[in-house]
Structure 1
Amino acid sequence: MRIFKKIAIIVIVLLAISIISGWMYYNSLKPDYSGSVSLTNIDNETSVYFDDFGIPHIYADNQQDAMTALGYVHAQDRLWQMELMRRISPGRLSEIFGKDMLKNDQFFVSLGVEEASKIAIEKLDKNGEVYKMAIAYLSGVNQFIENGPTPIEFNLIGIEKEQYKLKDVYNILGYMSFSFAMAHKTDPLLSIVKEKLGPHYLKELNIEIDPNTTLIKNSKQDLENFSALVSNVNDILNTSPIPPFIGSNSWVVSAKKTATGNVLFANDPHIGYSQPSVWFEAHIVTPDYEMYGYHIAGVPFPLLGHNRDYAWGVTMFENDDIDFYKEENHPTDANQYKTPNGFSTYKSVSKTIKVKDAEDVIIDVKSSRHGPIMNNVVDEISQTSPIAMSWIYTQFDGQVLDALYTISRATKMADVKKGASMIHAPGLNIMYGDAKGNVAWWASGKLYKHKPHVNTKFILDGASGEDDPIEYLDFSKNPMAENPEWNYVYSANNQPDTIANILYPGYYLPEDRAKRIVETLEPKNDWTKDEMGVMINDVTSSIAPSNIKEFTSIIDINSFSEKEQKAINLLNQWDGSNTPEKVAPTIYNKWIYLYLKNTFEDELGEKLFTQLLETHLMKRVVADHLKRDASIWWDNVTTSDNKETKTAILSKSLTETVSMLENQLGDEINDWNWGKVHTLEHEHPLGSVAALKDYFNVGPFPMKGAREVIDNRGYLYDNSGLYKITAGPSTRRIIDFSDIENSISILPTGQSGNPFSEHYKDQAEMYNKGEFRKMKLNKEEIINSSTKLIILPKDE
């Protein structure tokens, strides 16, 4: 018995040691939100107050101390996210994830982001404030890397921490500039459609800009190759561990349209969902500077922000800044290609990609005068027709970091405008409002013109020079509005109105959100912050009811079954709102998908149709095409004995909708709730491992919202009948200049990217409900609701 007793005691002791060790390890990985830490590059004691949602409020004697502190606290909550962000552009994801990320790495190393970063850094003034503040931020990041705990993701994957360098910051901004990538999804496909079906089919796809839709008002041909390129880009963006920027809403209402006589500002950038979420909030206060900013991982200056004097935000401009050129090789020398001045030699650079648990992969990146040849990084593209990618981001000197510094240190409206003028890519709408009553919008991005015959939606001729840009426009010709007479500015990624008699080409979203914003803003002249909060959560479509009306006005309802008639009646009675308990959105989305499938897939084929569904083009087609009684697309070309009509296609789609939803959700139509099929899960890169999913992922949740409503949600259309949300509002911010200390915001999950932090997902429930929390500026209130981390100077 004594032996068993001793064994039991040993087991209990070992178990206790394990529990204590686990508890100590768990606590060692949590961020330090209180206590003290000593850092170099700090001149004076700096206080960091972490409020009740974990947002740091940094009080420092000078901006350099504040930036060092910012780097440190940013890293302790988001170092894993920073690590992923800096690895994308230089092609270093395979190094930690293995061969599954090789296609991503091969693609990104070909784009030339690293080379552009090197040039930008070489031209950066090393005595200027941009450089000094960026280096101070990196100093803080690197001191956490040296002395702070290693995030659990590093240990699980088995990688070492590395010091951050300035090139990492520029590479991250390069990825941000690329991530929109709609040109890669659209231009090659349209070239295929043109060659396969002819111009008559293209005409009804609304490739050209329709001047009759809601415009933002200014106050001033190798088919196999092209399809492979699109497939490759879709795969890359769908498997990337870092989400792309896709769109956004913003509106700024002047003092003349508010109840208080002060500007109201709203912004909700639409970005792919992930865990951790995109934005890291930080409030900095020094004797000569204050800013409440929203930062992306690894970047020292905020992309969104406000203080007591002004606010700015962003949406995607959606302009066309990428063109594809089909080059013509020399008939006997594949190392040369044709130019207007004879043959030139391709530039070639050899790059090595390290792959976890595998041999290094060496690729040769060839470039013409237009840009990198994509054939070398997309295996499926044949080698007979070189396709070059011309991208504005790598054509001009990078000034995005300077622009963000200029905007975030502005003292007047003109400073923000200057910052906007410095951004040549990505194309952004910079939205602005201030305490003096000004409202403004500037479309940033380097715009350019071609000869009249050129349509940049297709693959262009690279050999003749006839399809090259003929003029790069001055910023003064960009779309913009400053204190317009209609007393508000807005953007919903829709087409800007003409300026200088030019409608600029792009990949604009349909008018749905824009129309809803204008219809909502226009009639009222007494807007309040609370009403703005309701509006930014609006889930009602202005377009869906009219699409349904187009269908129901041409059918004989008695020709449908009883259940089909009930579905039609639910659609007819629907006000276009998309809340989880509603049934109509489930029916509508399935019907729209089947209408598109039954209308376009027979001509396009399954692969091409699926690829087109992932473009903005198909979103723009629906409302216009449903109004067409005569359309070349209505006929199903696979049936030879009869010619289908609009009525036949739409009716067939409705019948199939009801049948498929019965099989998916059951016989009772009232149980086909939107929240059952429309769900959101914030996925961590390690959440794909089943054993880790519950620890790292947040959700899934049934969700409100839908495609192209103000509370915009991105999801794919397919046969599943499920609408797994991939993108949406990355934050919702409302800034009230009549009560600046009570301006409000929310994040999709939480401030921290550390799964052991109490702030990893503490905002998720509020976000799902459309609720808000304060963006605190009042020091006394901050101190009373915060823990305090003291940062002390450390002798070097």
Structure 2
Amino acid sequence: MTLRHWILSLALGLVLIVAIAIGGGYLWLRSSLPQIDGDITVADKNLQHSVTIGRDRYGMVEIRAETDQDAAFALGFAHAQDRLFQMDSMRRYGSGRLSEIIGPAMLATDRRMRILGLQHQAEAQYQSASANLRHLLDAYAAGVNSFVTQQRGALPPEFLLLRYRPEPWSPVDSLIWGRLMALQLSGNWRDELFNARLEQKVPPALFDLLTDRTSQSASIDWLGRSRAASNNWVISGKLTASGKPILANDPHLGLTAPSPWYLARIVTPGRVLTGATAPGLPLLVIGTNGKVAWGFTTTTSDTEDVFDERLSADDPTRYDTPDGPKAFETRDERIKVKGESDVVLTVRHTRHGPVISDAGDVSPEPGHVLALGWAALQPGDRTPDALLAMNRAANAADFEKALRDFAAPQQNIVFADVAGEIGFVAAGRVPIRRQLYDKSLLPVPGWTGATDWTGMIDFDALPQLHDPQAGWIATANNDVSAYAKGGFFGIGWDSDARYRRIANVLTQSSNPLDLLQTVKLQSDIESTPLRDAVRSWLPQTTGGAHADIVAALGAWDGRMDRQRPEPLIATAWLDHLARRILADDLGPLFDDWWFWQIDSLRHVMSEQAWCDDSRTSPVETCRQQVDLALNDALEELTQHYGANWRKWQWGDAHRVSFAHPIWRNVPLLRDWLDAKLPTDGDNATVSRGSPLPSQGDGLYPHIHGATLRFAIDLGKPDQPLFALAGGQSGNPLSSHYDDLLTAWRDGDVRPILQSVTHQITLKPATSVQ
């Protein structure tokens, strides 16, 4: 054999070895997919009877069990099969333990979570939980751990990449989920911190214009996602074709992979629960129990205050109170950091709450610290027990009774029962302040006692409606304080655009409403605020070389259709108009503030003085800025999409990206897994499609929207319809990782488990049958 042939043979051999290794590695990774057929024997006393887990062709799950505890065990098993890494990262995030597996990059996040003490709150909730709830939490945890114990193949790929194994699941871990939801859906304390910076930057008159409105800043949480959105409505049977109530809900959250929801149907002798579960929790969050149906939107009420605490002049280790200096309550938290030494953090508490400025991402004045007063931190929070009672309610009266224990986050909960009753309660704790300080827009002085909380608003005084004469109820993060019997609920409401659109559609029909009309409304893409802004301001433009575009926008119906150019042009024009009007006044705060606050922009443009750009010598008028903004927008869009504006499409710029928390950092895998699907809608459409403002690249990425759609006619309580943003599985090797995504985008809804195509049976090693 010649040297050339020998080298070639060696090379081919090496290629074959690499191919076998890659193929073998892929096959090993495939073993992380769940067993979905056959019998599994479980040696765990928490499983008392055989239970089945059926799946349909989309991976949606049906559990059939003889007891609630067996059902909880099976749900924990199924969640772990499909979402184990999501569950583990959730509890690590909430308990401040991400640095253990990722390293120092997550240390700042862990510090924040240790200061907030969500883990300790979850522990307190478990200790005070009812016996029924504890039994479910214990059985669920046993189901999760049973899966991990019996799993013979690979763990989900994220564990292999990060090189660790999950710890056993504990019942307290499940309760961290609710603490995280309370954190994500309560955000006015961040508004207060931002407003403090804003007040120092802009003149008082402009500050008043920017804050005297329905919503505050962009309200972006730590995870970089807008918090304020969701729709729900319920229609009385007197307005429906079936003669029974129709209920709909689409909770809006940041769009991620995997989805925050896991669709399941849980059948026991006592009830049939159908709807959205949360991986990590043994309860139905949104859906129906066959007798009552319910759905949530965030109230966006003011349940938090930032207290500016003054350190004592004689002893900076103490802080001032109306009764004199007081010592901080402290506890030490040890944070393990991968590849580095442990970090010991001393967490301080004042009489108002944890000292959040110790996290290092906000800077109080010298000699001061900032503490967080938050209704969700108050003792005696029985929200998990409330959710359990909601799951088991036999009628609307039972359901409303359950809401009395619902503490945090405050939610607009609509509900209906098969007997025909409908209702709404903004359930949750809202503080009573001794004195309201500047509309609660800014941090308040903590040393005077003048703004201290004196209690919580009574349940019966909360916003609520019961079988209203109008025959329907809807909420969309709009101002619901008119339905309360008193108390201050804040001014941080979202724009009422979505609510008004829902109300118009529900009231304009002369015929009885049916479920298909509700499903259609959930996918409605008319942006009334953007259309009205176009009609109000663009006629002022001279048009000039762009007369044809101005005419097209003038005839536009406001539908944010992904295949049309008008939504893209209108959005880009509004984006540039806001920048031209306010970037000079807000400076570096503009990008933190601007998130499609059309109402605020309208307030500012009502006074010509604010339209002038102080950075330029000419004095610009509002009309000139409208012209200039259109020029800016068209120049940017032409650069990125070509000269023929009629070929532009909103979907070219407005694409949804379901980023996985781990794989988005791996270039090739990121490109493979990220669909970047063109979508309809904008920040004000019922079908929420909140885009980020452009960064000069002509792109408006869709980052926030309906993570789930749920609709039910109580005339057929066993046939609710759903759409899920993504897929049932969190494993990228699964065919169910994102197979529901296109249907979700297109507004297609379907029942859970149309037919069982796969089924496993969990059998106790020693049966009591």
How far the C-alpha of 1:477 sits from its partner, in A, is: 0.7
What's the counterpart of residue 127 of structure 2? 122
Secondary structure, counterpart of 1:774 in structure 2: coil
CA 1:574–1:322 in structure 2 vs 1: closer, same or farther (change >3 Å)? same
How far the C-alpha of 1:391 sits from its partner, in A, is: 1.1
CA 1:282–1:674 in structure 2 vs 1: closer, same or farther (change >3 Å)? same
Which of residues 544, 548, 557 is equivalent to 2:534? 548
Which of residues 773, 786, 791 is equivalent to 2:750? 773
Which of residues 598, 612, 628 is equivalent to 2:593? 612
Letter in 1 for 2:448: S
User: Which shows bigger deviation, 344-353 or 65-74?
Assistant: 344-353
What's the counterpart of residue 80 of structure 2? 75
Which of residues 697, 701, 711 is equivalent to 2:687? 711
Which of residues 130, 143, 164 is equivalent to 2:169? 164
How far, CA to CA, are the matches of 1:285 and 1:764 in structure 2? Answer: 27
Letter in 1 for 2:503: V
Q: After superposition, give the CA deviation of every residue in 1:123-180 in whole Å (9 maximum; x if it has no partner).
A: 224xx11110111111101111222241111011101211011221222211111013
How far, CA to CA, are the matches of 1:106 and 1:9 in structure 2? Answer: 52
CA 1:501–1:795 in structure 2 vs 1: closer, same or farther (change >3 Å)? closer
What's the counterpart of residue 637 of structure 2? 661
Q: After superposition, give the CA deviation of every residue in 1:195-253 in whole Å (9 maximum; x if it has no partner).
A: 4434322222243669xxxxxxxxxxxxxxxxxxx99x968323xxxx77542111111
Structure 2: gaps (5+ residues): none
Pair 1:472 & 2:456 matched = yes
How far, CA to CA, are the matches of 1:348 and 1:452 in structure 2? Answer: 29
CA 1:166–1:645 in structure 2 vs 1: closer, same or farther (change >3 Å)? same
CA contact (8 A) 2:214 2:495 kept: no
How far the C-alpha of 1:729 sits from its partner, in A, is: 0.5
User: Which shows bigger deviation, 91-100 or 480-489?
Assistant: 91-100
Which of residues 32, 37, 40 is equivalent to 1:34? 37
CA contact (8 A) 1:698 1:749 kept: no
How far, CA to CA, are the matches of 1:169 and 1:631 in structure 2? Answer: 54
CA 1:795–1:586 in structure 2 vs 1: closer, same or farther (change >3 Å)? same
Secondary structure, counterpart of 1:545 in structure 2: helix
How far, CA to CA, are the matches of 1:86 and 1:194 in structure 2? Answer: 37
CA 1:285–1:634 in structure 2 vs 1: closer, same or farther (change >3 Å)? same
What's the counterpart of residue 388 of structure 1? 371
How far the C-alpha of 1:115 sits from its partner, in A, is: 2.4
What's the counterpart of residue 787 of structure 1? 758
What's the counterpart of residue 91 of structure 1? 96
How far the C-alpha of 1:686 sits from its partner, in A, is: 2.2
CA contact (8 A) 1:31 1:757 kept: no
How far the C-alpha of 1:696 sits from its partner, in A, is: 6.7
CA 1:775–1:155 in structure 2 vs 1: closer, same or farther (change >3 Å)? same
Equivalenced residues, count: 754
Pair 1:519 & 2:504 matched = yes
CA 1:624–1:63 in structure 2 vs 1: closer, same or farther (change >3 Å)? same
How far, CA to CA, are the matches of 2:226 and 2:651 in structure 1? Answer: 25
CA 1:791–1:725 in structure 2 vs 1: closer, same or farther (change >3 Å)? same
Map 1:482-497 → 2, pairs under 5 A: 482-497=466-481
CA 1:246–1:354 in structure 2 vs 1: closer, same or farther (change >3 Å)? farther
Task: Supply the RMSD in Å over aligned alpha carbons.
Answer: 2.6
What's the counterpart of residue 131 of structure 1? 134
Which of residues 399, 409, 417 is equivalent to 2:382? 399
Map 1:545-694 → 2, pairs under 5 A: 545-555=531-541, 557=542, 560-562=543-545, 564-605=546-587, 607-614=588-595, 618=597, 620-626=599-605, 628=606, 630-639=607-616, 642-694=618-670
How far the C-alpha of 1:334 sits from its partner, in A, is: 1.1
How far the C-alpha of 1:787 sits from its partner, in A, is: 1.3
CA contact (8 A) 2:310 2:367 kept: no
User: Which shows bigger deviation, 692-701 or 674-683?
Assistant: 692-701
What's the counterpart of residue 209 of structure 2? 204
CA contact (8 A) 1:78 1:754 kept: yes
Secondary structure, counterpart of 2:560 in structure 1: coil
Letter in 1 for 2:236: S
Pair 1:304 & 2:307 matched = no
CA 1:623–1:303 in structure 2 vs 1: closer, same or farther (change >3 Å)? farther
How far, CA to CA, are the matches of 1:135 and 1:309 in structure 2? Answer: 26
Secondary structure, counterpart of 1:259 in structure 2: coil
How far, CA to CA, are the matches of 2:309 and 2:608 in structure 1? Answer: 35
What's the counterpart of residue 465 of structure 2? 481
Secondary structure, counterpart of 2:710 in structure 1: strand
Secondary structure, counterpart of 2:315 in structure 1: coil
How far the C-alpha of 1:118 sits from its partner, in A, is: 2.5
Pair 1:265 & 2:247 matched = yes
Pair 1:59 & 2:64 matched = yes
How far the C-alpha of 1:17 sits from its partner, in A, is: 5.9
User: Which shows bigger deviation, 157-166 or 525-534?
Assistant: 525-534
Q: After superposition, give the CA deviation of every residue in 1:572-611 in whole Å (9 maximum; x if it has no partner).
A: 1110001111111111111111121111221121x21111
Q: After superposition, give the CA deviation of every residue in 1:504-538 in whole Å (9 maximum; x if it has no partner).
A: 20421101111111111112241112222211101
CA 1:765–1:195 in structure 2 vs 1: closer, same or farther (change >3 Å)? closer
CA contact (8 A) 1:110 1:365 kept: yes
CA 1:601–1:694 in structure 2 vs 1: closer, same or farther (change >3 Å)? closer
How far, CA to CA, are the matches of 1:235 and 1:290 in structure 2? Answer: 35
How far, CA to CA, are the matches of 2:346 and 2:48 in structure 1? Answer: 48
User: Which shows bigger deviation, 679-688 or 19-28?
Assistant: 19-28
What's the counterpart of residue 519 of structure 2? 533
CA 1:246–1:159 in structure 2 vs 1: closer, same or farther (change >3 Å)? farther
Secondary structure, counterpart of 2:247 in structure 1: strand
How far, CA to CA, are the matches of 1:17 and 1:457 in structure 2? Answer: 63
User: Which shows bigger deviation, 657-666 or 78-87?
Assistant: 657-666
How far, CA to CA, are the matches of 1:13 and 1:612 in structure 2? Answer: 56
Q: After superposition, give the CA deviation of every residue in 1:695-724 in whole Å (9 maximum; x if it has no partner).
A: 873411111111110010222214333111
What's the counterpart of residue 420 of structure 2? 437
How far, CA to CA, are the matches of 1:62 and 1:413 in structure 2? Answer: 24
How far, CA to CA, are the matches of 1:193 and 1:755 in structure 2? Answer: 43
How far, CA to CA, are the matches of 2:445 and 2:54 in structure 1? Answer: 58
What's the counterpart of residue 298 of structure 2? 316
Secondary structure, counterpart of 1:647 in structure 2: helix
Letter in 2 for 1:466: A
How far the C-alpha of 1:361 sits from its partner, in A, is: 2.1
How far the C-alpha of 1:385 sits from its partner, in A, is: 2.5
CA contact (8 A) 1:684 1:696 kept: no
How far the C-alpha of 1:379 sits from its partner, in A, is: 5.0
How far, CA to CA, are the matches of 1:644 and 1:506 in structure 2? Answer: 32
What's the counterpart of residue 362 of structure 1? 344
Structure 1: gaps (5+ residues): 211-229
Pair 1:754 & 2:739 matched = no
How far, CA to CA, are the matches of 1:292 and 1:651 in structure 2? Answer: 53
Which of residues 455, 458, 478 is equivalent to 2:439? 455
Letter in 1 for 2:747: G
What's the counterpart of residue 213 of structure 1? none
How far, CA to CA, are the matches of 2:449 and 2:752 in structure 1? Answer: 53
How far the C-alpha of 1:331 sits from its partner, in A, is: 0.8
CA 1:552–1:724 in structure 2 vs 1: closer, same or farther (change >3 Å)? closer
How far, CA to CA, are the matches of 1:437 and 1:530 in structure 2? Answer: 19
Secondary structure, counterpart of 2:657 in structure 1: strand
CA 1:792–1:569 in structure 2 vs 1: closer, same or farther (change >3 Å)? same
Map 1:217-236 → 2, pairs under 5 A: 236=222
How far, CA to CA, are the matches of 2:176 and 2:598 in structure 1? Answer: 31
CA contact (8 A) 1:186 1:612 kept: no
Letter in 2 for 1:581: Q
What's the counterpart of residue 418 of structure 1? 401
